[in-house]
A and B are shown apart, each in its own frame.
Chain A
Amino acid sequence: MDDARKNAVCLRVWGDNACFTRPEMKVERVSYDVMTPSAARGILEAILWKPAIRWQVTRIDVLKPIRWESVRRNEVETVVSTRNVTTTMSSGRGDLGLYIEEARQQRAGLFLRDVDYLIHACFELTDKAGHEDNHIKFAQMFRRRAEKGQCFNQPYLGCREFSAAFEPVEQGEELPVPISESRDLGWMLYDLDHLEAEPRPYFFRAMMEQGTIRVPAWDSSEVMG
């Protein structure tokens, strides 16, 4: 227990908009009602990550009512073809540009607006951790960075255009109160397993109870591949 407290962190994140895209509706993006554990992990990693640690989100508190906004944008429908690039590279000539008029899609997105969350997480040391690595070192490094607003890249709420502001909530500090709402959020993306060549999605049954979503551990039976 003592050890678990040492590596526990609590981070408040907020922003104007967010889109935690449902994988089954990602052409015209529709966000989940709340932040997914995988998005929360992405935010923590934007502040601190080393191969020696693995973040585990334990709880997500929703601090503001769930509200929506729809935005339609012109987007591009293709991706850079590696083969074209390598051909052009070796021949030294060619046309690689992508003309947006010819590859245009108009996509609507149903985004969240005015969001505010509390991420509770801890981390484990991986087998890449060296002798000098320990929980306290990384926990303090994370706190120092979060306090000063330092980050590897600016964290974001699901998509990069929805940047997240963040600040740590120190242990012992009074926690902001989540919204008093309970909802069955259904099956929600837990995270992607990147260990194999094709990333594999895992899901869990998310329940919001009085604004709080408890996130099970990776190896728990509640997480299904």
Chain B
Amino acid sequence: MSNPIQNRYEFVLLFDVQDGNPNGDPDAGNLPRVDPETGNGLVTDVCLKRKVRNYVGIAHGEQPPFEIYVKEKAILNHQHERAYKALDIDLSGDTGKRKGGENVEVARQWMCKNFYDVRTFGAVMSTGINCGQVRGPVQMSFARSVSPVVPLEHSITRMAVATEAEAEKQGGDNRTMGRKFTIPYALYRGHGYISAHLARQTGFSEEDLALLWEALTNMFEHDHSAARRQMSMRGLYIFKHDNALGHAPAHVLFDGITVQPRDGVSVPREFSDYQVTVNDTGLPQGVTLLRQVG
């Protein structure tokens, strides 16, 4: 656990959805999120981070040091008591001169050691003093669809009702109608950043990093539901810098990966309707491209 990563990374995620709703908008009655100005679909950073958490929770059975702090109850209610390993925490060499007592610093480090998501994404600890914050090394942005999306609305029926009163009102007809929203097809692109410097502060290790790539690769496979239908990870391109500070601006590296509808395709409906071009020849010195998926 004590070997934090030494390299800066950026990554590009390409994932698609078929006849599903990748991320509902609570402001719009759960319609898929759409940027009203461009018509492109959106998936929030927190939506993707949730899936990483869920995957790690499943893969490691919610046990320290890979426990997940922010849980979804539906899957994870089964363990309420667990023994935490009392860890020897080395406080020397830490910038722990902030006010608020040693307590906070010790608790913070202990949380980092036991909880994968605290180590990875960070967390806010309450103290009333501005010092209990953990900034995680992994930073993600909103994902946007490559082309504008068309959210469809479907009315669906249910051959049952929920309450006695409803049944009476319908005179035994017992039917209800509902709605669901889908996007016929969309390919989304998201960006992420990993800071080796912040990893040093939370102890995010090589092992944690490998788990992150594994989670991003497989997270949709364990996240099937009626609403989402088919979602797949289509590309995970990782730029690895050979040092902590990096060798090139992130936006320059991201520009090396272009995604466009193929010639002649006006309505993309599957992944093969897109052309993904990865320019891995002109990479700046000190940067390597790892093609985890795609």
Contact = CB atoms under 8 A, between A and B. Distances in A.
> Interface of chain A, helix or strand or loop or mixed?
mixed
Given A100-B70, A154-B139, A197 B124 contact: no
Contacts of A100: 70-73
Contact of A151 (B104, B132, B245): B245
B84 A95 contact: no
Interface stretch (A69-77, A125-133, A178-186, A205-213): A69-77
B37 interface: yes
A80 B123 contact: yes
Given A97-B69, A100-B71, A72 B26 contact: yes
Contacts of A98: 69-71
Nearest to A82: B107
Interface stretch (B145-153, B190-198, B230-238): B190-198
A97 B33 CA distance: 29
Contact of A163 (B69, B77, B250): B250
B81 A95 contact: yes
Contacts of B139: 153-154, 156, 160-161, 163
Interface in B92-136: 99-100, 103-104, 106-107, 110-111, 114-115, 118, 123-127, 129-130, 132, 135
A199 B193 CA distance: 28
Interface in A79-129: 79-82, 85-86, 88-89, 92-102, 106, 108, 113
A220 to B, nearest CB: 25
A187 to B, nearest CB: 22
Contact of A153 (B67, B135, B247): B135
Contacts of A86: 103, 106-107
Interface residues of B, number: 70
Contact-size category for A: 35 or more
Given A194-B130, A198-B129, A71 B42 contact: yes
B84 A154 contact: no
B68 interface: yes
Contact of B68 (A97, A161, A197, A198): A97
A82 B103 contact: yes
Contact of A166 (B45, B123, B135, B249): B249
B127 to A, nearest CB: 6
A80 B69 contact: yes
Interface in B39-53: 42, 44-46
A93 B27 contact: no
Interface string B242-269: 0001111111100000000000000000
B72 A70 contact: no
Nearest to B10: A154
A165 interface: yes
Nearest to B111: A85
B191 A85 contact: no
B27 A72 contact: yes
A153 B193 contact: yes
A82 B191 contact: no
Given A153-B135, A154-B139, A76 B197 contact: no
A85 B110 contact: yes
Contacts of B84: 88-89, 92-94
A82 B139 CA distance: 24
Contact of B247 (A16, A93, A149): A149
Nearest to A167: B249
Nearest to B81: A93
B83 A161 contact: no
B141 interface: yes
Given A72-B27, A97-B67, A160-B139, A82 B73 contact: no
Top 7 closest A-B pairs, CB basis?
Answer: A149-B249, A153-B195, A165-B251, A154-B193, A72-B27, A150-B245, A161-B45
17 contacts: A79-B125, A79-B132, A80-B111, A80-B124, A80-B125, A82-B125, A82-B127, A89-B86, A93-B81, A93-B82, A101-B72, A113-B37, A152-B195, A153-B193, A154-B10, A154-B250, A197-B100
Given A85-B125, A148-B248, A149-B246, 7 more contacts: A71-B25, A82-B107, A82-B126, A97-B69, A149-B247, A197-B99, A199-B130
Interface of B: 10, 25-27, 33, 35-37, 42, 44-46, 62, 67-74, 76-77, 79-86, 99-100, 103-104, 106-107, 110-111, 114-115, 118, 123-127, 129-130, 132, 135, 137, 139-142, 144, 191, 193, 195, 197-198, 245-252
